[in-house]
Structure 1
Amino acid sequence: MVAETLNSPPDGLVHGFHGSWVIKTIMVVFTSLAFYNAIELIILILFTFHRYSGLYFWSMLLSNVFGVIPHALGYLLIYLNIGPLALALTLTTIGYYLLVPGQSVILYSRLHLVLQNSKVLRPVLYVIIIDTIILIVPTTVLTFSTAYIGSLTIVRAYNVMERLQVAWFCAQEFMISGIYIWEAIKLLRLMPEKDRHRNQIMYELLAINFVIILLDIALLVLEYKGLYGLQTTFKSFVYSVKLKLELGVLGRLVSLVQPHRSGQGSSGTSDFPAFVDPSRFNADYTHAAPVANRRSQMRRHVHGISMDTLARTSSSRPVSRVVSRESTRPP
């Protein structure tokens, strides 16, 4: 069964997709959802980031505009047998370059928000660069060779390479996400305030990354089942969902470094216990003691971390350094 799958050209890569109408409908649904998410993401990214600069911003924008859209459009043209095959394959190839390796770049740039150890960051970057070169070059050559030559040897090599690159990039994303989760948990433990809000953020970050892992596993299952048409259209949808979840991760990270404000009052009297009447004080209680001053400065410093400063990963200090410095400062 496996040998027959490896020796057969992918269904739909040449002369359109000829499967059941149910599979065709599901493929069109996945493609439509990918287009919808891509358009929505353009708006969300432009409105979320206050400054259009930095590796995190550009990797997310390019992975969406030149990754999701060309990838989904190219495979739609291939399966519906519309237009020249060379044009459709070129679109899918460009989309693949910015979609799959681009997701690893997004995870790497996001890693800077919680980690500043070059001994960890540099090897991760090297792994991304080396894996991208090793995997995308033969995949591209074999894709065009399968479409235009289609010999048994080339088809078998393409099927093996396709499965290998899907599994490898998924494992790479698992590794980077694992490092991020570990560092985010360490960052949460450095926070000076321990409350239920902090624990809630930790669980939400873990849940988001768990959903991403489940999507990758579903992608792997479709690939190794030989459902090429479903896998390629589902991939565009999956990576568009991943990009939307990235914005959720960024929003949670902002909440992580900002103390919970819901319980803070607007007046200074809210800091006194219920049995204390501040109106009976003769001294000036509106000016805090030196220790309190330092603590309030720390709160203002953490409050000052915004979406803008988090987005500029290449020029600003990481959140981990800010929080660790403030939380370890002696009173």
Structure 2
Amino acid sequence: MSSDSSENGIIGEYSGNDFSIKATFTVFLGIALYNSIELMVLIFASFRRYQGLYFWSLLLATVLGVIPQSLSFILKYYSIGPLWFSITLSTLGWYFMVTGQALVLFSRLNIVVQDLTVSHRVLAMIIVNAIVLHVPTTVLTYGSNFIQTSVRVHGYTIMERIELTGFCLQEFIISGLYISKTISILRVSPPSIHGHNPNRKVMYQLLAINALIIVMDIILLVFEYLNYFVIQTTLKSAVYSIKLKLEFGVLSRLVFLVQSHQYWPRDSPRVYPRPTPAREELEYHTFLDDSRDSPDYVSTPKSCELATSRHISA
């Protein structure tokens, strides 16, 4: 086992003596755990029915993703307990955290993307990436830690960069779809009246949030390619916990925008089909507690779940 790999935390515990690095990754893991616990409370307090792809992907990405991923690095880097346990916990948490968060994005995609072909391709991309990137990385993770040769360690570092880049590109594509569709909606949105247009404000918020998600992914890539392995892996947990909290807010704003229908000017070409009142009741049925007045608590539309079932059965 090389000293560089040990000091970087690639193999076993973090053996470096830099207190600032230890303090930094401990803070990142603390933030991830705090955000996850808070999000769990919000999920169970806000959802009226515990079902659907959006609910389960959000819950599992938090409970079986971010939380075990964060705990595993505390155990691994501080050498608490057997190494095989922390690595297994980290691997399982990584599966649910990364692919689970992608499914959260996918579960609300049909709100702005009406083309089922696009949705099918996004789902296929998520499935293929989960197999192609998770499996070889897992094999190399166990190999580099328990059969410690320079070849396996080098192979793991290369695969780590490939999988991180691949999953970041996946999020770039999905977030890019949201951004492009949001811009399309803004183009046909009616002008502000007396300087106030709540729908345009919501759309700008959605643009900012999706842009922030892309920026956070870029930051992770920078740390990875600068060989700050410990910082990158622990920052990843914090970043994904923030992403999941943002997703919780993004959905409510999307539904608020769709339900208002004010961005379809009556005298402009319709980019998206305008739901009839009869379909509205079916497609925008609430999944969250709709007793609250704030748009932040507007629920997940049932169309999200209906479209998801069509994706799976197709």
Q: Please state which band the TM-score falls in when normalised by the shorter chain.
A: 0.7 to 0.9
1:31 aligns with 2:29: yes
Task: Supply the AA of the counterpart residue of 1:203.
Answer: Y
**Structure 2 unpaired stretches of 5+:** 263-275, 288-298, 309-314
Query: How far did residue 113 of structure 1 move?
Result: 2.1
TM-score, structure 2 normalization = 0.81
**Structure 1 unpaired stretches of 5+:** 262-296, 319-331
Counterpart among 13, 16, 22 of residue 16 in structure 1: 13
Counterpart among 160, 163, 187 of residue 161 in structure 2: 163
C-alpha distance after superposition, 1:69-118 (max 9, x if no partner): 01000011000000000000010000010111222111111202222322
Taking structure 1 as reference, are residues 10 and 255 closer, same or farther at Cα in structure 2, changes over 3 Å only?
Answer: farther
Partners in 2 of 1:119 and 1:37 — Cα distance?
35
Query: Alignment identity in percent?
Result: 45
Partners in 2 of 1:139 and 1:9 — Cα distance?
19
Greater relative CO, 1 or 2 (CA 8 Å, sep 6+):
1
Task: Supply the AA of the counterpart residue of 1:172.
Answer: Q
Alignment of structure 1 residues 199-238 onto 2, 5 Å:
199-238=200-239
Alignment of structure 1 residues 299-314 onto 2, 5 Å:
301=280, 305=284, 307-308=286-287, 310-313=300-303
Query: How far did residue 184 of structure 1 move?
Result: 3.5
C-alpha distance after superposition, 1:121-173 (max 9, x if no partner): 11111111111101111100000111011211111110000001101100110
C-alpha distance after superposition, 1:258-279 (max 9, x if no partner): 4499xxxxxxxxxxxxxxxxxx
Q: Which has the larger radius of gyration?
A: 1
TM-score, structure 1 normalization = 0.77
**1:310 counterpart SS class:** coil
Alignment of structure 1 residues 122-201 onto 2, 5 Å:
122-187=120-185, 196-201=197-202
Task: Supply the AA of the counterpart residue of 1:84.
Answer: P
Query: How far did residue 256 of structure 1 move?
Result: 0.9
**2:32 counterpart SS class:** helix
Instruction: Tell me whether 89-98 or 121-130 shows the greater mean CA deviation.
Output: 121-130
Task: Supply the AA of the counterpart residue of 2:42.
Answer: L
C-alpha distance after superposition, 1:204-233 (max 9, x if no partner): 000111111111111111111111111111
Task: Supply the AA of the counterpart residue of 1:80.
Answer: Y
Q: CA RMSD in A?
A: 3.0
**Contact 1:193 1:259 (C-alpha < 8 Å) held by counterparts:** no
Partners in 1 of 2:305 and 2:123 — Cα distance?
18
**Contact 1:254 1:310 (C-alpha < 8 Å) held by counterparts:** yes
